[in-house]
Copies of this chain bind each other. A is one copy, B any other.
Amino acid sequence: MQNYTVALDAMGGDFGPRVTVPAAVQALSRFPALKVILVGDRNAITFQLSQLGYSDSSRMSIVHSDQVISNSEKPSLALRRFMHSSMGMAIDLVADGVADACVSAGNTGALMALSRFRLKLLPGIDRPALISALPTVSRKCIWMLDLGANVSCDADSLFQFAVMGSALAEVHLGHQARVAVLNVGEEEIKGNDFVRRCADMLRQTQSIRFVGNVEGNQIFNDLADVVVCDGFVGNVCLKSCEGTAQLFIDKLKNQMFGASIKGWIARKLFSDLFIGLKTLNPDHYNGASLLGLRGIVVKSHGSADISAFANAVGEAVHEIKEQVPSRISDRLEAVLLERHY
């Protein structure tokens, strides 16, 4: 059995080592071939480990860093000031080949900036993209990208997102992914130049299963496995979904849980109804991955609890086993060959 190593930014997220250390222990018990490097304040990490009574130094090591990037830090400053932060050093471990992937629940913008700077882009990729699985009506998932790594993208970038998204989705699906472009209408003539040109390119690419445009209200309808958009649209779209979910939950709660007998019954019977429905944010759903880099970077949500952070480690393990970066390269090479000959 081949071992693999994941570097964890132990200080990232709302709870730091209190969540990341127990999550690491949980992941270690789930994946027998996993080794973990915890990057962060040695004292805080050791304290958590002693609380848990965990002492298997063959599978877990600590790399000390006394610098933490706060959530309010600007990404541009991360590169100048925070190379030696727990996040920066976790990424470095991947760049230096010591770890096979890194997971952080810290500042997303800083994670993107540091990852891109240290890991570099895969050949043929112009921009990295943030991707996440989202729920659909039929209990399946769709993968949506870019969710905010790039505020504007040309047709070539969108096309590369489609290839990267396919590669990741297929690792989970086990069969060819259906790819759609997020647009303002289903018809080919709809949209701006970039999405139209990207759709044209996808239509001409045999090795991608392009299923056409989807509209905003169809994202969750299981019409596609991968939905491609630029990071501005993706970010606004997903956050709007989150806002709507909250708006509806608030309205329904007001309607249901009023000061009446009906409200009393509702509180007794349905008080747990809205748990787990609060948000569609990819951060909250099950973490996001940065694709297009020469290394695996998984972003867990900041408010992740132990099992959610362990899930993000699980995603990293999955991407290591399936060698997602080289799958992306292979897929891109095949597509480019097809397009040029």
Contact = CB atoms under 8 A, between A and B. Distances in A.
B236 A218 contact: no
A52 interface: no
A164 to B, nearest CB: 20
A236 B266 contact: no
A interface bracket (residues with beta carbon within 8 Å of B): 35 or more
Interface string A252-265: 10011000001001
A64 interface: no
Given A216-B237, A248-B249, A252-B277, A184 B148 contact: yes
Q: Is chain A's binding surface mostly helix, strand, loop or mixed? A: helix
The CB with the most chain B CB atoms within 10 A, among A192, A233, A236, A252, is that of: A236
Contact of A232 (B136, B191, B269): B191
Interface string A164-199: 000000000000000000111001011111000000
A140 to B, nearest CB: 12
Interface stretch (A201-209, A239-247, A300-308): A239-247
A256 B273 CA distance: 8
Given A137-B247, A252-B277, A273-B256, A237 B235 contact: no
A243 B241 contact: yes
Contacts of A215: 235-236, 239
Interface string A102-132: 0000000000000000000000000000000
A182 B239 CA distance: 11
A248 B277 contact: yes
A88 interface: no
A154 to B, nearest CB: 12
B252 A262 contact: no
Contacts of A238: 216, 240
Given A137-B250, A151-B192, A184-B231, A242 B216 contact: yes
A54 interface: no
A46 to B, nearest CB: 36
Given A192-B151, A192-B152, A247 B220 contact: yes
A270 interface: yes
Contact of A233 (B74, B220, B236, B249): B236
Given A233-B236, A248-B248, A243 B216 contact: yes
A12 B128 CA distance: 46
A239 B183 CA distance: 10
